[in-house]
Each structure stands twice: as C-alpha cells, then as structure tokens.
C-alpha cells in the first residue's frame, strides 16, 4: 500500500495519539468509586481495649465541637498569613494566631495543586491521582467515602457558599447552597460578594451545624497579576474582615452549657511566583491551616507553625464531630487539637485512627505486615490494653501516667508511619494497558524510522507492505497468540484492567492491528537488508537520494541527545536549558555555513560542485533569489546581512532568556518580566508593548492584501487598548489610578478582526483552487496561507500578556531574517528547515515562561473577551496561548514551504514526516522511561506532568500534520 509522506505521517501520529491515550489510561487509572454501601459506619469503631464486648465498648467518641465553620480561601499561601503580608493585610487573623486560642500549621498539599483534587483530599483524606487535573474542568459526583457524606448521614445540617465544584462533587448533600463558577478568572469581586452576601443572615441562624465558605477572588487575582500585584493586599484585608465577623459571631454564641465552636481557616493550594498553581513548588504546596476555638489553650505569642499534611485535617474534623473516619483516608490526627482531653480519651481517638489506617493498609498492600507502622500499631494497641487494665483497676500512680504517655507516643509514631506508607501508594497501575500502549507507540516509531529513505525521497511516497502482511501465516499466528495472551491476562489479573473491560470485538481489532503492524515492520526490515545478488527496487533507488549531511547529523544528534537527557528529573525540570543550548549550537552551525557559502566558495569557485554549500546548490531549482535586492540594498551587502542573521538570532534569544525565568532552580529569582510588571515601570512596559506591536505589524503585513493589512493594524491597536483596559499598560493621556475593567469590549473588537483576516485567507485559499493558471493559483494560495498566519499572530498577540509581546516580536523577526538570508540562500532542504523550525518552536515554548510544571499554564487567557465561563473556547484559548511558540513556527514552516515554487514539490510531505518523527522519538522514549520509573520518588511531581505535556504536544503536532496533509493533497491534486 503506497501513501504519500504527509498522509503516512498523519496516520502514524493518529495511531500514536490513540496509543498514548491507552497508555495514559493505564498510568492514570480513573479511581474506582466505592458504592454508597461501602462507607464507614459507627459499628466499625473498634472496641476499646479491656472493656469487654458490651454495647458501649465500640461506641463513637463524644463530639468536641458543636459547630464548625470552614473558610477555604482559594490559593491562600502560607506567607499570606504567617509572613509579612499577613501582618500588614490580615491583622485580626494574626492577632488571633498570636493570642493563644488557636493552633497554626503549614499544611502541605500534594500535587496536583488544583482545586478539585484538593477538595477531594480535604473531604476524603485520600491523595487524588494526577489525572484529576484533567477532570478538574468537569468534576463528577464524588461517590467515595467522605466527610460530607458522613456528616449528612449523621444528621448534620450543612450549608455551603462558594466554588460550585463542591456542589458538583456533593449533589444533594447541602441543606442550602449557592455555587459560583471558579473558572472565570477575570471576576475577583462578584465571585466573593456572592458568598459574603449570605453571611450575616446565616450566622444569625441556629439551624445549621457545618458552614463551608469557599472564596475564589484571591486565586483569580493571582492568575491576573501574580502574588505581588496591587490587588492582593485589598483582597487579603477583605478576607481578614470576614474572619473577624465570623469569629465574633461564634464567640457571641458561646456558653458554658454547650460545646465550643470551631473556626477553620485554610487554603486548598498555594500560588506560584507567576500567580498560577498546579505544580509542586514550595509556594504552591504550602498552605496555612489555622484552627480557632476557645477550647484551645496555649501560651500567647507567635510561634513558628508546625508542618503537617493537608489530609490530616480530615480525620481530625471527623473525630472532632464524633463521626467515623473515611475509609480511604490516609491522614492522621492532629494531636494539638485533642491535647485538652483526658489521656484515656486521647488514646481512644488515636486507637480509632490507627484501626482505620491499619485496615486500609491491609486492603492496599499485600505485604502490610512488613510495614514498620503496622507493627508499631500492634505493639501500641497491646500496650494500650495493659494501660487500660491498670486504669480500670483504679491505679492512680505516676507509673500509670508515664505508661500512658509512652503509649501515646507509640500511637503517634505508628500513625505517622502508616500514613506515610499509604501516601506513597497513590494508585495501582494498569500494567497491561500501559504495556500495550507502549508496544503500539514503539511500533509507530520503528515504522517511521524504516520509512525514512522513502519518505524523504524525491517521490515522497512510502510503500507499506500491509496487504501482503494480512495474508501471511505469521499474521494469523500473532493474532492467535495475542488473543490467547489477552485471555490469560484477563483471567489472572488481580487489579483493574481497562482492556479487559472493553468489548471483545474492539479488543480483537486492537490485536489485529498490532499483529499487522508487526508483520509490516518485519517485511520492511527484510526489504531494507542489502543483498549482493539482488537489484534495488524502485523505492530503494528513490530513497538513495537522501543523504546525511553535517547539519543533518547535528540536528539528529541534538534531538536524540535531548531525548536521552529526559531520563533525569533535573533535566525535565530544567529542560529549557537544553533547548537554549541546542539553539545556540544551531546558530553557530548556521554561521559556519554562511561563512562557507560566502567566503570559502568565493576562493574556490572551481571546486564549488565538490565542496559547495551544505546541500546541492539551487542551479536546478529555478532563478536565484536576492534578499538584498528585494530590501532595496546593494547586492554586496547581502553576505553581511547573512552573517549578521545568526548573531542577531543569538542576541534575541539571550534577551528572551532574561525575560521569563522558568524551570525550578531559578524560577523564584527576579527577571525582566517581574521588573516590567511592577507598578513603578508601567510606563516603560507601555512603550515596550507599543513598539513590539508596531514591529509585529511591519513584519507580518508584507505578505497580506490591503484589506488584511488594515484589519491587522486595527486589531493590533485593539490589543493595546485591551491591555490598557485591564490595567497592564497606559495610554499617554491615561492616569495609572484609572479603574481596571475586564476589557471584554476591546477583546471582542480584536476577535472581529481576527475572524475577518482568517476569512480573507480562507477565501483566497478556496479561490486558488479554481484559478486556471498554476502560477496565479500558487501566488494566491501563498497569500492566503500568509493571511491565515497573520490572523493567528493577531490572536496570539491578544492572548499574550503585555510583557510577553517582545517574545512574539522577536519570534517574527527571527523567522523573517532566517527565511530571507538563511533558508533560501543556503538552499536548506525541507527536512533541515523543518527540524530548525521544530527546535525554534520548542525554545520559544520556554521563552514564553512555560515549563514542564502545570503551574506555569496561564488559564487566565481562556477568558479574554468572555463574561462567563464557556468551556470550549476557554480550553481552546488556553491551549493556543500555551503552545503559541511551536504553533507559530509550524505555521510559518507551512507558509514558507508552500511559497517556495522553486523548491522540491514534495517539501510539505517531507516537513510533515519530519514533524511526526521528531514527535515520536521523545514520546516513545518517555513512555518507556515513565514505565521503568513508575515508583520513582518524583513520579507525581516531575515525571507525570511531563507525560501530560508530551501527550498534549503530540496532539498539537497531529493537528499541524493534518493541515500539512490537507495542503499537500491540494498541490498533488492539481495537474
């Protein structure tokens, strides 16, 4: 079966996407939800040692608190309360913390530090899987045993106001609720007012037991302006006033006859230095936990807060309300909360917690008896029995007290050990699905490698022996073997298996495809093997016109070297350094080629054909091209402009490295972006943004029609107006004290011109199909592609923050000078040009400030021009902004190859194939790496986010290759 290179590459990427999805389904298994009957009950409480088996031996503990108010402030960092910001902006909270009727802690949130997984952790006590990052956009009902269900089952009346994620997770659990969307980050005022407006009336009522308030404004401000923005202080003061109001109301209703109330102040996650969250940096995982109640007694004065896990709050609240602990909770009690109880009561609560953790350890770990914490708990329980025997006998000696304190210490050590062991077991891997996905990905990679000579030949046609493979005996034997293996695995697998749950027809189809791929690979290997008595076939001859040059070797070595470097967690965290190094090396190699072209060839013109440029000269490719003449300069200056191009590229890249610090080691250090975004330098940022927008217009408009040029100019003016409306930049006549708006009208103004430019470009592409002249058709088609490209540039300019507009301008500048003086004049072929575009795209991904940490994803761009959360456009805009660098370079490559009529007609096919190969090499390597390191210490904080980025990048490349294939088929269809 013969396929063009572009179609072949597209099909390979589609197969790879399906394979990666299967691998992710095994690596990130969707948690199996417990049924409603699988919940902890009061009858599950263990009997107290030495009290017999009477009805009171396993009774529930007495509640410690009458009412509980939980104030959850989204993205509340610990330094917002315990640091200098807390003293300035939250004076009342700091006063309560220092007065003595409270306990303060730094609660560490496990990654992923996004809202929905953190709510799960706070209510179930379990550690959610990393796949919950994806599910965060559409939270399903939580069926797992949780604190909210236990409270409702016990007759507790719960009221909730705030983030509607709670309402989706716990439908029909609240006596009263009012949810607000958490995704419209441009709103940081109404989203909190909708919560506070209920507060006065609710605090006066007596018909509730638990009040949950989830405030979102601080998180939204962080996404907009970062943790040091001017809006952070007023929002913290607003939250402080709310804490004061709630605390005063609870105190006024305290009486000696009733149990005390409890006020809990906490955050679901923190906030990175860029204002985002999702990763595992210290500012993102460190959240404050302040427990305020008159029952607490400690010395006045500020003490350094203790450190605990966020999940420890779940069992503490459960036993504090006299409820069973959730079955899947991995947290342990916070001892300070119960230190005012009698020693017997403290030991009883620790025994209940230990009993729950030990049973969870038995269910999740076949070798539970070898765990130190489990043995320590058994020893502590026996010691507890001995202590109870003395206590029941009426012993009141000091020996009993010392023995009780020893048992208490044994319990605490056992609980911490079991909790730590359980936290490491984040989930069970579906190894069958992972291995099958890995096999498919490796098959696609080998298929791409074996097809390289044919895919990069002049014909750009790949002959896949698929038909002959389907009729071969090995194919049927492999199908039989695969089916038998599937039955064997399904009947012996002890854990959940996704493939085993699929219909047999679908599974058999997968087995057939895998077998066919294997046979086709073997046939292609045999066909590639050299034989002395066999004449080469047509395809073998055609493939021989692609040879490996010096630059090809550099590009391939660099790509493979970068792929191998991902085996280290440090290289993943600092991957941008690898791409910066490779880009610098590429510029130096190009500089060497320019010197060879313009100096060595001048001295050795007679030997030009032997030594020549890096690739064959363009003598057979049509008339020569002179960029200097086109720019109105003397032909003699062309070589100096060509020599200056790599140096200019190096200079731009070095400046962009200083604009956004990324990675882990240096991300906290100030960079030029922080300096620009400070309020004192807004005027300088305004000038820089305006200059960048003018430069963007000058670089993009050259290939557009007059109508598109006007639309582009007005659209870029709208971009500046939008940034001025939201307070990022200033108009000359505008004062910095002007009220900040959402900029909805200005953003929609830009969207109109984006759609207009895209419409004009698509219209030209369609008109090119009916042009009688091939020359006119090619010219119109090229202009249409450039106009579509300019529309994408305008949209990216709208989404980029003001300080990142120079990044976009430098991207366009490098593309222009490289196209004019390097790729055309040095006659680089489509494969080399594609690899260079890919490298530049990867580097600009990090120049934007992105990293392999999910916390650097700027979700605020998903709401530019929107007044409410709309899922589809929000996801599209966020993905476009995040991958703007790779997408712009891919679009430029398409426009560049399509406009080169004097180049090889199969340039688009070569480019599409190279994109597929460059994406498949790291994807295949990385799934093997993640599988082998699945028990690594940093698997969830480092390797898992990178795996999600690789999957998303593969999806983006598939979309790019789809467009390449479409344009390539149009050209092939024209006679």
pLDDT digits (tens, 9 = 90+) for 233-251: 999 999 999 999 999 999 8
For the stretch 27-38, pLDDT in tens is 875 543 333 346
| Better-scored residue on pLDDT, 495 or 778 | 778
Residue 653, CA distances (Å) to 339, 559, 797, 932 in order: 59, 19, 19, 35
Query: How far is the C-alpha of 481 from the C-alpha of 568, rounded, in Å?
Result: 37
What's the structural domain count of the chain? Answer: 4
* pLDDT for residue 755: 94
| Better-scored residue on pLDDT, 15 or 968 | 15
- Asked if the structure places residue 908 within a domain, the reply is no
| Pair 272, 186 in one domain | yes
Query: How far is the C-alpha of 822 from the C-alpha of 618, rounded, in Å?
Result: 13
For the stretch 398-415, pLDDT in tens is 888 889 899 999 999 999
The least confident of 288-297, 437-446, 608-617, 744-753 is 608-617
Confidence of residue 156 (pLDDT cuts 50, 70, 90): very high
Confidence of residue 778 (pLDDT cuts 50, 70, 90): confident
| Pair 324, 241 in one domain | yes
Percent share of the chain, pLDDT over 70: 85
Q: Is the pLDDT of residue 545 over 80?
A: no
| Pair 377, 487 in one domain | no
* pLDDT for residue 297: 79
* pLDDT for residue 975: 44
Q: Is the pLDDT of residue 308 over 50?
A: yes
* pLDDT for residue 970: 56
If DSSP codes are grouped into helix, strand and coil, which group holds residue 118? helix
| Pair 198, 267 in one domain | yes
Query: How far is the C-alpha of 830 from the C-alpha of 445, rounded, in Å?
Result: 21
- Asked if the structure places residue 94 within a domain, the reply is yes
* pLDDT for residue 544: 42
Mean pLDDT of 560-589: 83
Confidence of residue 441 (pLDDT cuts 50, 70, 90): very high
| Pair 487, 615 in one domain | no
Query: In which element (H, E) is residue 522 found?
Result: helix 504-528
| Pair 412, 457 in one domain | no
> Edge-to-edge strand order for the sheet containing 158-163?
176-180, 158-163, 210-215, 68-73, 262-266, 286-292, 102-108, 306-309
Query: How far is the C-alpha of 621 from the C-alpha of 623, rounded, in Å?
Result: 7
- Asked if the structure places residue 677 within a domain, the reply is yes
* pLDDT for residue 265: 96
The least confident of 30-39, 674-683, 877-886 is 30-39
Confidence of residue 77 (pLDDT cuts 50, 70, 90): very high
* pLDDT for residue 924: 93
Domain of residue 228, CATH code: 3.40.720.10
| Pair 557, 523 in one domain | no
State which of 142-146, 271-275, 767-771, 816-820 shows the largest mean pLDDT.
816-820
* pLDDT for residue 35: 36
Q: Is the pLDDT of residue 622 over 50?
A: no
Query: How far is the C-alpha of 823 from the C-alpha of 960, rounded, in Å?
Result: 21
| Pair 81, 127 in one domain | yes
* pLDDT for residue 89: 93
The least confident of 74-78, 263-267, 866-870, 887-891 is 866-870
Q: Is the pLDDT of residue 425 over 70?
A: no
* pLDDT for residue 57: 58
My answer on whether omega of the bond before 112 falls inside 30° of 0, hence cis, is yes
Confidence of residue 713 (pLDDT cuts 50, 70, 90): very high
Domain residues for the domain of 75 are: 60-339
Q: Is the pLDDT of residue 782 over 70?
A: yes
Q: Is the pLDDT of residue 604 over 70?
A: no
* pLDDT for residue 738: 53
The structure tokens listed for 966 are 């479409």
The least confident of 169-183, 366-380, 632-646 is 632-646
| Pair 374, 251 in one domain | no
CB 266 within 8 A of CB 313: yes
Mean pLDDT of 510-521: 86
* pLDDT for residue 855: 76
Q: Is the pLDDT of residue 799 over 90?
A: yes
The pTM (predicted TM-score) of the whole model is: 0.75
- Asked if the structure places residue 491 within a domain, the reply is yes
Task: Tell me phi and psi for residue 290, to 5 degrees.
Answer: -120, 120
Handedness of CA 226, 231, 236, 239 (dihedral sign): negative
| Better-scored residue on pLDDT, 257 or 809 | 809
Mean pLDDT of 365-379: 80
Q: Is the pLDDT of residue 945 over 60?
A: yes
Domain end residue (candidates: 311, 339, 367): 339
| Pair 587, 505 in one domain | no
Q: What is the mean pLDDT of the chain?
A: 83
- Asked if the structure places residue 536 within a domain, the reply is no
Domain end residue (candidates: 339, 357, 387): 339
Confidence of residue 842 (pLDDT cuts 50, 70, 90): very high
- Asked if the structure places residue 574 within a domain, the reply is yes
* pLDDT for residue 611: 43
Query: How far is the C-alpha of 608 from the C-alpha of 606, rounded, in Å?
Result: 6
**C-alpha triplet 372, 378, 379: angle, nearest 5°:** 90
- Provide the 10 A C-beta neighbour count for residue 418: 26
Mean pLDDT of 640-659: 90
* pLDDT for residue 333: 93
* pLDDT for residue 48: 83
| Pair 640, 724 in one domain | yes
* pLDDT for residue 857: 85
Domain end residue (candidates: 339, 368, 393): 339
Q: Is the pLDDT of residue 157 over 90?
A: yes
Mean pLDDT of 835-857: 90
Which residue in this structure is represented by tokens 């991904």?
A: 845
Mean pLDDT of 698-707: 88
| Pair 453, 408 in one domain | no
- Asked if the structure places residue 958 within a domain, the reply is no
- Asked if the structure places residue 924 within a domain, the reply is no
Query: What spatial distance separates the first Cα and last Cα of the chain, rounded to whole Å?
Result: 23
Helix crossing, 575-595 with 638-657: angle to 10°? 170
* pLDDT for residue 509: 87
For the stretch 325-364, pLDDT in tens is 988 888 999 999 998 889 999 999 999 999 988 888 887 7
Query: How far is the C-alpha of 217 from the C-alpha of 187, rounded, in Å?
Result: 7
């Amino acid at each position: 079966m013969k396929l063009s290179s572009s179609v072949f590459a597209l099909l390979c990427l589609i197969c790879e996407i399906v394979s990666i999805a299967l691998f992710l389904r095994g690596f990130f298994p969707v948690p199996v939800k417990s049924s409603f009957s699988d919940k902890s009950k009061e009858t599950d409480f263990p009997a107290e040692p030495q009290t017999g088996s009477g009805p009171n031996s396993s009774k529930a503990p007495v509640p410690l608190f009458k009412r509980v108010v939980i104030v959850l402030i989204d993205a509340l960092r610990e330094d917002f309360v315990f640091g200098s910001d807390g003293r300035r902006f939250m004076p009342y909270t700091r006063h309560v913390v220092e007065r003595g009727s409270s306990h303060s802690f730094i609660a560490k949130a496990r990654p992923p530090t996004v809202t929905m997984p953190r709510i799960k952790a706070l209510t179930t006590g379990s550690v959610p899987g990393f796949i919950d990052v994806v599910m965060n956009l559409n939270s399903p009902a939580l069926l797992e045993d949780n604190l909210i269900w236990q409270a409702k089952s016990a007759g507790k009346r719960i009221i909730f106001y705030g983030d509607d994620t709670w309402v989706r997770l716990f439908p029909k659990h609240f006596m009263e609720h009012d949810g607000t969307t958490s995704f419209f980050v441009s709103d940081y005022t109404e989203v909190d007012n909708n919560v506070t407006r209920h507060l006065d009336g609710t605090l006066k009522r007596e018909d509730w037991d638990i009040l949950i308030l989830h405030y979102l404004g601080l998180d939204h401000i962080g996404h907009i302006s970062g943790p040091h923005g001017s809006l952070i202080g007023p929002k913290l003061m607003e939250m402080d006033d709310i804490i004061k109001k709630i605390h005063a109301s609870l105190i006024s209703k305290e009486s000696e006859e009733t149990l005390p109330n409890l006020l809990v102040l906490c955050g679901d996650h923190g906030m990175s230095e860029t204002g985002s969250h999702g990763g595992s940096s210290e500012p993102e995982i460190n959240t404050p936990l302040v427990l305020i109640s008159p029952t607490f007694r400690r010395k006045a004065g500020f003490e350094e807060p203790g450190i605990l896990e966020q999940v420890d709050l779940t069992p503490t609240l459960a036993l504090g309300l006299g409820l069973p602990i959730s079955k899947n909770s991995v947290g342990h009690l916070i001892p300070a909360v119960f230190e005012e109880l009698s020693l017997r009561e403290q030991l009883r609560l620790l025994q209940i917690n230990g009993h729950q953790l030990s049973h969870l350890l038995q269910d999740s770990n076949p070798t539970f008896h070898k765990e130190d914490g489990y043995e320590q708990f058994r020893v502590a329980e026996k010691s507890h029995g001995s202590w109870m025997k003395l206590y029941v006998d009426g012993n009141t000696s000091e020996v009993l007290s010392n023995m009780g304190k020893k048992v208490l210490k044994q319990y605490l050590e056992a609980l911490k050990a079991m909790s730590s062991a359980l936290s490491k077991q984040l989930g069970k891997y579906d190894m069958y699905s992972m291995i099958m996905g890995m096999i498919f990905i490796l098959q696609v990679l080998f298929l791409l490698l074996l097809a390289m000579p044919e895919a990069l030949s002049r014909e750009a046609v790949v002959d896949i022996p698929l038909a002959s493979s389907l009729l071969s005996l090995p194919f049927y034997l492999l199908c039989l073997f695969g089916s038998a293996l599937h039955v064997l695995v399904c009947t012996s697998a002890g854990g959940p298996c996704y493939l085993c749950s699929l219909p047999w027809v679908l599974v058999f189809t997968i087995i057939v495809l895998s077998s066919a791929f294997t046979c086709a690979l073997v046939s292609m290997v045999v066909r590639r093997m050299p034989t002395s008595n066999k004449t080469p076939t047509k395809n073998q001859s055609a493939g021989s016109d692609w040879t490996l040059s010096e630059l090809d070797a550099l590009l391939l070595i660099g790509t493979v070297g970068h792929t191998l470097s991902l085996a280290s967690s440090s290289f993943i965290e600092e991957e941008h350094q690898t791409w910066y190094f490779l880009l610098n090396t590429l510029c130096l190699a190009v500089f060497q080629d320019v010197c060879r072209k313009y100096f060595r060839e001048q001295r050795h013109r007679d030997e030009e054909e032997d030594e020549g440029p890096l690739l064959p000269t363009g003598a057979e490719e049509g008339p020569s091209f002179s960029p200097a003449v086109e720019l109105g300069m003397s032909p003699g200056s062309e070589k100096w402009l060509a020599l200056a191009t790599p140096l200019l590229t190096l200079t731009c890249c070095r400046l962009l490295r200083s604009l956004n610090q990324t990675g882990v080691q240096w991300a906290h250090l100030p960079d030029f972006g922080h300096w620009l975004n400070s309020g004192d330098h807004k005027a300088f940022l305004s000038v820089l943004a305006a200059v960048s927008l003018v430069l963007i217009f000058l670089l993009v408009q050259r290939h557009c029609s007059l109508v598109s040029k006007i639309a582009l100019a007005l659209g870029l003016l709208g971009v500046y107006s939008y940034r001025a409306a939201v307070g990022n930049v200033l108009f000359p006549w505008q004062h910095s004290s002007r009220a900040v708006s959402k900029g909805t009208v200005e953003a929609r103004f830009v969207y109109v011109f984006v759609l207009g430019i895209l419409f004009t470009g698509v219209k030209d592409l369609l008109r090119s199909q009916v042009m009688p002249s091939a020359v006119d058709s090619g010219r119109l088609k090229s202009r249409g592609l450039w106009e579509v490209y300019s529309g994408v540039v305008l949209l990216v300019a709208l989404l980029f923050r003001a300080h990142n507009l120079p990044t976009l301008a430098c991207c366009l500048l490098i593309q222009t000078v490289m196209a004019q003086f390097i790729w055309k004049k040095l006659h680089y072929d489509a494969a080399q040009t594609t690899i260079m575009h890919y490298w530049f795209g990867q580097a600009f991904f990090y120049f934007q400030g992105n990293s392999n940490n999910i916390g650097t994803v700027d979700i605020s761009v998903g709401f530019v021009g929107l007044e409410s959360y709309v899922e589809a456009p929000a996801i599209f805009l966020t993905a476009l902004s995040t991958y703007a660098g790779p997408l712009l370079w891919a679009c430029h490559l398409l426009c560049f190859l399509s406009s080169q009529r004097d180049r090889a007609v199969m340039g688009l096919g070569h480019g599409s194939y190279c994109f597929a190969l460059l994406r498949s090499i790291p994807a295949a390597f990385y799934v093997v790496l993640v599988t082998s390191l699945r028990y690594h210490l940093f698997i969830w904080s480092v390797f898992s986010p990178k795996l999600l980025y690789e999957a998303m990048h593969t999806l983006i490349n598939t979309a790019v290759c789809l467009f390449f294939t479409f344009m390539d088929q149009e050209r092939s269809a024209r006679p």
